[in-house]
Each structure stands twice: as C-alpha cells, then as structure tokens.
Amino acid sequence: MSKAYSLFFFLLIGLTTSKYVVANDTKPKTSFYYRQIDSKNGLSNSSINTIFQDQDQLLWVGTWDGLNRYDGAHFSVYNHNIDQVENSIGGNVILSIKGDQNQNIWISTIGGISRYNKPSGKFSRYFYKKTAPQKIRENEYDLIVNDKGEVFCFAVNGVLSKFDFDHDQFVSFQKFGTKETIVKMNFVGDKLCYLNKKGILTVTKVSQNKLQTVKSISDPSGISNFFSVDNQIIYTTNTEHQFIVDGNLAVKPLDLPLRKIKAIAAYKAHYLIAWENQGMSVFDKAFKKTDFLRNEVTALENLKITGFNVGNDQVLWIGTDGNGLIQIYPKENFFGLLTKINGTKINKPIRAFAEDSGNLWVGTKGNGVFIFNNFWSEGNKKPQKIDVSSGLENNSVFAIRKGADQLIYIGTDGRGLSVHDLKLKRTINWKDIKNTEKLPEFKSVYSIIQDKNGSVWMGTSGYGLIHANIVRNADQSLAVINFKQFASSAENNGPINDIIYALAEGKDNRLWIACRYGGLSVLNKKTGQFKTYKAFGYEGSLSHSDVLSLFYDSKNRLWIGTSYGLNYLSNEESLKEKPKFIKITTDKGLPNNTIHAIQEDGLGNIWVSTNKGLAKINPANNSIANYQESDGLQSNEFSDGATFMAANNNLFFGGIYGFNYFYPKDIIENTKQPNLLISDLQLGGKAFQNNQYLIVKAKQQTIQSYELERKSNFFQFSFNALNYFNASKNEFAYKLKGLDQAWRYTGSDGKIAYYNIPPGKYELLVRWSNGEGVWTKDIVALKLDVKQYFWLTYPAYAFYLLLLIAGGYAFHLYRKNKLEMKFKLEREYLFRQKDEEVHRQRINFFTNIAHEIQTPLTLILGSVEHFMQKKSLLDKSVDKNYFLSVVHQHTARLTYLVQQLLEFRKAEAGYLKRSDDYFDISKLLNSLTQLFIPAAEKK
C-alpha cells in the first residue's frame, strides 16, 4: 500500500511539475491518477475476486470476506448473517457479481447464488439448501447474464438453469451429458460460449428452450481458458498460446508472451492483459506493445491482478489478490505546477508575479524574488534570486509590477518601495532613490499600479495610499519628483482604512481601493475626493467590508473579493449614489467565501482563488466550475493578490506551496452529471435493512414514498454524488417542499436531518452540481407523509363535531326538561298557593260564619233568658213584641247565614251569580244597636 501511494505521489508531481509551453491552442497530453484502496479505506478484505459497476454507477466489489458497495467516498459491506438467514447474503466468499435490467444484483458465492434487490434491500437465496455441505466446491455455480437481462446459472452437475422472474426460481433449461463436463461458460455478445474439460470451445445461440450450436473451436493442445473483450473471444491453449476469434468466428493467432492470462479488458483503445502470476501488459488494438499507462504498469508489476472493470466514467478498476482495489483515471484538466525550486520544496507562500520578455518574476513571502529566465522554454533552468543578500530591502515580497522605462517595482515588507533597474541590472531601495530622505516614512507595500503618465500608486499595510512619480535622471539615477500620502479619514480626503490590499483602475479616471476591515473606497483623481462603500449600509450593498482583492475586467466591470464572497459592479451602477453590488457566495456555488485574487482569461471568464481551490465564473450565466488540489493545484489554499496573466494568455495563481499556471482553454469542463446516492436513511429513528439506499438521477425517475407517525416525525440521511475521482468538488442543495422556504446548501458529504416535522405531505427536492458549474434541475428525491395523531385527524374532528352536536342537543334536552320541570313546579306551587288561599278563605269564611251564627244565638239566648227572668213584664204588650221581634230578627239572621253557606257551595260549583241591591244604612245601624240593648241591660 505505501509503495503504491508513494508511486501515486511521484506520478502526480512528476506529471505536473514539468514546464508546459503553450504558444497555440493545443491540448495537453493525457496523464492518469493512480490510487490504491484497501481495508484502511473501509474495504472488507484486500483480496478481491470480482468487480462490477451497475447501471446506477455504483461499484460492487466481491472479496473473500463479504460483498462491498462503493460510492466513491464510503464502503458499505454486506456479510452473511446466521441470525438473518432469509435476509442476508448466502456466503462471505464472493466469486462473481452480475446485474440484470430489473434492479437486481446477482452474487455467486461458495455454495449457491444470492440475489440482492436494490429497491427493497432484500436478499434471496438459491441452491444453498440443495447442496450437501461435504460437496461444496469453489466453483459450484457459474452465473451468467446476457444483454437482454436474462439470468442463467450453470451447476457442476451439468444443469443449465434459467431464472423465472415470475415464479422467483431457477428452472432447468438444458442438461449436459456426463461425458461433456463444462469448466467455463460466458456470454460473448448474444452468443453463449462454453468450454468443456476436453478443451473444446463451443459457440451457441440461445433459442426458446435450448442451446443451438453455432460453431465448435478446438486446438490440438486443447483450449485451457477463454475471455470476452469487445465482443470478441480470446482463448489460450494448454501450451499458453493465444488466439482471437472475431465477430465472424474466424480464428487468428496472437503474438503475445507465452504466459497464462488471468483477465483481459479494453480501455481507451487499448487492451489490458493481467497475467496469471503477477503484473500486467498493455497492447494497442493490433496487440502490439505500447507505452500507454507505462507508469501504472510499472506500479502494478509486482501485484497479482484478479480482474478488471472499466467504468462508464472512464475509471479503470483493478482487483488484486491482497493489495486491495486499484483505481486509475485520466487527468483531464491540466494545471502546470511548480512546487520546487532548485530541488527544494517551496515552503514560503507565493505572493506576486510579473513578466519581462518571457522571463517570469515570482515574489515570495520570505524568500525574496525568483526570476525564471525563458520560463516558457523547454527544460528546467536554475532561477536567479533577488533577496536581502543581493540588495533587496526585505525578503517578504507582496507585489511586483513592471513599469515604464525598464523599471520593475517591488513592494516588500520593508521601508518604502524597491525598484529593480533592468537597464542597470541592479536593485535600488527606497532610501537610495533621490529626494526620499525628507518624505514621510512608509513600508509594507501590498499593491502597485502605474498610471498612464508614469506615476505609481501604492497600497500599504498601515500607511494608507501613496502616490509618487519616480523618474530616471540623465545620470541614470532615480528620483522622486512628486509624492503624496493619503491617510485614512472620516472625511472625503482619504480612504476609509490605512490597510490597503489591492488597487484597481477603470477607464473613467477613478481609482478603487480595497481596505481591509473598512470597505471599498474610490478616489476620483480629478477632484481628489474619496467615497467609501460598506457592507450592510443598504439593500444591495457590499457583501462584506473586509475587502481583499480587486479586478477590472474587459467589460468595464469591477470585481471585488471579500472575506465573505465575491461581488461585481457594472460601470453604470458604480456611478449611482447607492450602487447595487451583485453577490456570489458559496450559496451560488463558490468553493469558499474568502476571495484572495481575481483574474480574467481570454474568453471573458473570471477566475478566483480561495481557501478551497480555484473557481471559474462565467459572467454570462454565473455558472461556476471549481478546481481543487486533486485536479493538480499546489494546494487548496492560495495567497492574497497572487495572480497574473502572461503575454501568452496563461494564468498564474500563487499559493502556500508553490504556484499553478495554465492555459484556460486546456481546462476541460465536465458536463456529465453523476447520480446522487441517498444512504443511511432513518425514518423515525428506524434504519433501513441491508444498507438500503436510494439512487436519484439527473432526470426525474419514479419517486419513493414513505410515511411517518406523528410521534416519530423526524428523519435523517446522508447523500453524496457517485463521483469516483473528484467527489469533494460536488455541491448539493436540498429543500423539504412544504416546510422550507429557501434552499439549503451543504458540502460534498451532506448529512441531513429534519426534526419535529408538522403533519402533512412533503417532497424532498434536491439538486447537485458536478463540481464544474453544471447543476441539475430540481429533482424530487422522495415523498414524505407525516401522519397526524388520530385524535387530531379530520375523522376525529368530525367525530368531535358530532359529539359536540350530540352534547349540545343533550344539553338542550336537559335544559328544556329542566325548564319544563321548573315551570311545572312553579305552576304546582301557584296551584298549591291558590288551593291554600282557597282553603284559608274557606276557613276564614266558616270562622266568620260561625262568629256570625254565634252572635245571633247569643242574642236570642240572652233575649230568651231575659224574657224568662222578666215574665212579669211579658204581660206588657210592648216588651212582649220587642223580644219576639228580636228573636224573629235573629232567626232571620241565622236563616240568612245558612243561606250563605248554600251560596258558597254554588260558588265552588260555578253557579253563583252576583246580585246587587240598595239598603238604608241608618236603619241597619239602628237595628244592629237595638239588638245589643238587652245584653247591655243585663250587664
């Protein structure tokens, strides 16, 4: 493993550090990456028997210890589980892997055949129970699948079976005789070929229910093995000679080494042959030796190769016996790379570039300036060096600018500005330039530009903006004739900050100034007035006030790099009081928001360097292509302001471990979209069985639907693109339609989780890029139905409504009955009161009548007694008449009272009628008085 990795590093550096001359638009020579993958990367076993890539772009690897599924970033391992006999692979020793057109992966193991259904994640087993343990052999079953997706299995007992998908079983197709022992069987195109133990190769055609022999091929020494490649048959004899059978079944000998062949594959118009013992060879289409993959063949010469697989993305997979999986893929993008100078690795950041007549000037932060004479010529030449030992003010160089009059201006961390005089071939420091002794001190020049009139503008770190005219005197000495320093000011007479990282000048005599932590300042050279734009000042303002880089492009647009994204401003917009900045950040596809340097290529594309590689922006549609260290960059981290366009339109970008140079037209964009793998899916905390997964393609396919209970209203999953050589470049965005209002963006290995999802129906929308600016459309990955608690569903609400209505009705009845009962009780109470009143009136009436009766009786009694006591007086006629009159009167009175009692009865019966009459009240009172006279006299 370590040897292979060392070779990979050697190949990568060797291929990319060589100088590449680009005078015309020519395509660079293709090179290859070499990568070794073994158990350290998650592979279950480093001894590989078979490799297969399915129609979904997933790679399946069969080892001596399990089935492996590889997605370019992770391995998922399928092992035999004795506790899940019906839902795990039949054995751990994987001999061959095939795929059909029904989303099945067929696995031949020791002892039988297993079928893995990808949509359901379930395994099915065949033949295992029919084989006695003592008879198990390594090649018990031979599994073959044709282009139509028909699955056949040949067993050592001589029976060729065909799988019946309708009944989920293998049915006998043809029985071979006991004398014809088959040792190998395989499809070559639409022909089924098999080799028997006698060394005869038979080519057949599969009919409805049997095999029809097309041709039998034999050799005097006997055929020992055969292989299928490019719809041709290559077979070897027992004497280790090789022959090829073309499409017309014509046999031709091959001039190959007399060695046993283990595997053959066709790759990029070449044939790869793995030899039985170890190593491999590469031949062209005429089977002539070639230097194609020479370095890779050298790396594999001591490895035992067990098989090849050529992926649909031109990745070559090589299985080995004990050394894991080898991945070889073409390096399509060409970035020139320089990481060593004089054989020593560059350990100081590259900060500046300049060019003079084909000579490249490179400024470093700590090692001075390197000058590569005739940089574009073939061969590596020892660079010249300018540093403190040769007169440079300071070894930390931040800016280099070739000026007029054979002068190159060098900004360092030292005092003032250093100037290299090409005419005199010497470096002149600021203190050695005339008229500088009385000027204000400044240092740390980070940016330099020169006006048309020859004056120089300098941005410094801590000393503001400097403007100076440096001229050559008659004696060839240099002198400063004009000097002005613009310090930071809250007014309009200086930049917003004294720390200036970049300067840019447009066509309208305005100077733009990048102020760190302050914003973007602009100087109107005609008026001398400054204006500053900051972030968050208004809608459409700058993305961040920490400005790192500036660039004016050919369309008169100003590009502004900040520590939080890229901005650009049209010339028309820049004239407004509140211009609208167009922002481009990681949300739009940038690899990183820290923009170190900006440059334009000859095609109008904008290139930016970041902390995570380079990005190319197409201003026409804002598409973004990203490039990283795996594409050949010096590293993913680049330096502030370190960019340059050479005279031949090559671009330079400096970083922390060297610099890259390239011709933009040679950078080939990948327009192919990888599939998206959704794995580790957990719904409501329950994980899928057997590492079940979902494949989402760039074109909308059938959508899987899932349900979640209300109490388990959460899910999580991981997704990554099936990219086997630059997976880290892919970007993803997702949105749960029905919940999220905006798209969410994630890195190359997205782990997504949603919790406490409200009840409802949702769609998970995804889109992803291929890492080079091409994004898919919005794709529905899955549908989700979060169920509500039953007591909160519409049927429950209907039940509650019915219950409420029933309750209301019951309450109504209750209230009604209560009111009726209250009314009855009140009525009964009134009746009772009325009855009592009647009864009371009756009592009062009878009491009154009794009193009335008692009074006449008393008077009658008194009169009689008085009459008896006064018998002697009765002789008088007057007294006699008086007492008789009293008796008569009271007798009449009693008669009247009795009559009243009778009338009361009539009143109860309702027959009493009112009768009114007149009487003499004086007579009444007189008569009443006369009644009591006897009684009074008695007393």
What is the per-residue pLDDT across 289-332, written as a single tens digit (0 to 9) for each? 999 999 999 999 999 999 999 988 889 999 999 999 999 988 77
> What Cα–Cα distance (Å) separates residue 850 from each residue in 262, 759, 858, 862?
145, 90, 12, 18
> Is there a contact between 558 and 582 (Cβ–Cβ < 8 Å)?
no
Looking at the predicted structure, is the pLDDT value of residue 20 above 70?
Answer: no
pLDDT at 24: 29
Closest CA to 386 of 373, 398, 405, 371: 371
pLDDT at 2: 38
d(CA 349, CA 600): 22
Q: Which two tokens stand for residue 203?
A: 């080519």
Closest CA to 102 of 163, 153, 50, 192: 163
pLDDT at 514: 96
Between residues 864 and 57, the one the model is more confident about: 57
Residue whose entry in the numeric block shows the structure tokens 């293709």: 30
Looking at the predicted structure, is the pLDDT value of residue 22 above 70?
Answer: no
Say which range, 416-420, 808-812, 825-829, 879-883, has the weakest mean pLDDT. 879-883
Q: What is the mean pLDDT of residues 717-729?
A: 82
Looking at the predicted structure, is the pLDDT value of residue 28 above 60?
Answer: no
Helix (H) or strand (E) holding 843: helix 794-869
> What Cα–Cα distance (Å) separates residue 461 from each residue in 31, 353, 422, 502?
43, 19, 27, 10
Distance of CA 750 to the CA centre of its chain: 6
Q: What is the mean pLDDT of residues 54-62?
A: 94
Burial 147-168 (b: 16+ CB within 10 A, else e): eeebbbbbbeeeebbebeeeee
Q: Which two tokens stand for residue 689?
A: 């069985």
d(CA 563, CA 558): 17
pLDDT above 90 coverage of the chain, percent: 57
Angle between helices 877-909 and 794-869 (to 10 degrees): 170
- Mean pLDDT estimate for the chain: 86
pTM above 0.85, yes or no: no
**If pLDDT is split at 50, 70 and 90, which confidence band does 792 have?**
confident
Q: What is the mean pLDDT of residues 878-891?
A: 67
Residue whose entry in the numeric block shows the structure tokens 């004990």: 322
Q: Which two tokens stand for residue 554?
A: 């050919």
d(CA 402, CA 420): 9
3-class SS string, 509-542: CEEEEEECCCEEEEEECCCCEEEEECECCCCCCE
Q: Which two tokens stand for residue 376?
A: 């574009």
> Is there a contact between 595 and 647 (Cβ–Cβ < 8 Å)?
no
pLDDT above 70 coverage of the chain, percent: 89
Q: Which two tokens stand for residue 496?
A: 């917003």
Q: Which two tokens stand for residue 644?
A: 């340059």
pLDDT at 520: 95
**If pLDDT is split at 50, 70 and 90, which confidence band does 769 have?**
confident
pLDDT at 6: 37
Looking at the predicted structure, is the pLDDT value of residue 531 above 80?
Answer: yes
Looking at the predicted structure, is the pLDDT value of residue 130 above 60?
Answer: no
Provide the 3-class DSSP secondary structure of residue 332.
coil
CA angle at residue 34 from 74 to 345, to 5 degrees? Answer: 110
What is the per-residue pLDDT across 509-526, written as a single tens digit (0 to 9) for each? 899 999 999 999 999 999
What is the per-residue pLDDT across 215-260, written as a single tens digit (0 to 9) for each? 999 999 999 999 999 999 999 999 999 999 998 999 999 999 999 9
Closest CA to 649 of 616, 601, 597, 606: 601
> Is there a contact between 44 and 68 (Cβ–Cβ < 8 Å)?
yes
Looking at the predicted structure, is the pLDDT value of residue 871 above 70?
Answer: no
d(CA 30, CA 214): 42
> What Cα–Cα distance (Å) separates residue 309 from each residue in 127, 142, 302, 306, 924?
28, 19, 20, 11, 147
Looking at the predicted structure, is the pLDDT value of residue 687 above 50?
Answer: yes
Going by their DSSP bridges, the two strands 565-569 and 558-562 should be labelled as antiparallel
d(CA 692, CA 681): 8
Going by their DSSP bridges, the two strands 597-600 and 232-237 should be labelled as unpaired
> Quick one: 355 exposed, middle or buried, by C-beta within 10 A (0-12, 13-18, 19+)?
buried
DSSP-derived letter for residue 464 is -
> Is there a contact between 219 and 199 (Cβ–Cβ < 8 Å)?
yes
Going by their DSSP bridges, the two strands 704-708 and 779-786 should be labelled as parallel
> Quick one: 433 exposed, middle or buried, by C-beta within 10 A (0-12, 13-18, 19+)?
buried
Q: Which residues contact 734 (CB under 8 A, 6 or more apart)?
A: 719, 743, 744, 746, 750, 752, 764, 765, 766, 767, 781
End-to-end CA distance of the chain: 156
- For 419, half-sphere exposure in the C-beta direction (CA atoms, 13 angstrom radius) is 27
pLDDT at 646: 95
pLDDT at 23: 27
DSSP-derived letter for residue 496 is S
Cβ neighbours, 10 Å, residue 202: 20
Say which range, 109-118, 541-550, 876-885, has the weakest mean pLDDT. 876-885
Cβ neighbours, 10 Å, residue 222: 14
Helix (H) or strand (E) holding 599: strand 597-600
Reduced DSSP (H G I as helix, E B as strand, rest coil) percent helix, strand, coil of the chain, to 5:
20, 40, 40
Residue whose entry in the numeric block shows the structure tokens 């001359």: 21
Q: Which two tokens stand for residue 506?
A: 């447009």
Q: What is the mean pLDDT of residues 170-187?
A: 89
Single-letter amino acid code for the residue at 247: G
Sign of CA dihedral 874, 879, 881, 886: negative
Q: Which residues contact 398 (CB under 8 A, 6 or more apart)?
A: 351, 352, 363, 365, 411, 412, 413, 444, 445, 446, 447, 641
Say which range, 103-107, 360-364, 857-861, has the weakest mean pLDDT. 857-861
Provide the 3-class DSSP secondary structure of residue 243.
strand
Closest CA to 111 of 86, 136, 78, 134: 136
Q: Which two tokens stand for residue 94?
A: 């994987």
Looking at the predicted structure, is the pLDDT value of residue 181 above 50?
Answer: yes
Looking at the predicted structure, is the pLDDT value of residue 910 above 70?
Answer: no
Q: What is the mean pLDDT of residues 740-763?
A: 84
> What Cα–Cα distance (Å) separates residue 287 from each residue in 77, 234, 281, 282?
38, 12, 10, 8
Q: Which two tokens stand for residue 272?
A: 């790869």
Helix (H) or strand (E) holding 851: helix 794-869
Looking at the predicted structure, is the pLDDT value of residue 25 above 50?
Answer: no
Looking at the predicted structure, is the pLDDT value of residue 932 above 60?
Answer: yes
pLDDT at 554: 93
φ and ψ of 197, to 5 deg: -65, -20
3-class SS string, 565-593: EEEEECHHHHCCCCCCCEEECHHHCCCCC
Q: What is the mean pLDDT of residues 174-189?
A: 88
d(CA 191, CA 207): 10
Looking at the predicted structure, is the pLDDT value of residue 4 above 50?
Answer: no
d(CA 596, CA 605): 17
> Is there a contact between 318 and 311 (Cβ–Cβ < 8 Å)?
no
Q: What is the mean pLDDT of residues 196-220?
A: 92
pLDDT at 489: 83
φ and ψ of 276, to 5 deg: -60, -45
> Is there a contact between 733 and 690 (Cβ–Cβ < 8 Å)?
no
Looking at the predicted structure, is the pLDDT value of residue 534 above 50?
Answer: yes
pLDDT at 902: 64
d(CA 761, CA 131): 50
Closest CA to 497 of 517, 467, 512: 517
pLDDT at 466: 96
Looking at the predicted structure, is the pLDDT value of residue 146 above 80?
Answer: yes
DSSP-derived letter for residue 924 is H
Looking at the predicted structure, is the pLDDT value of residue 935 above 70?
Answer: no
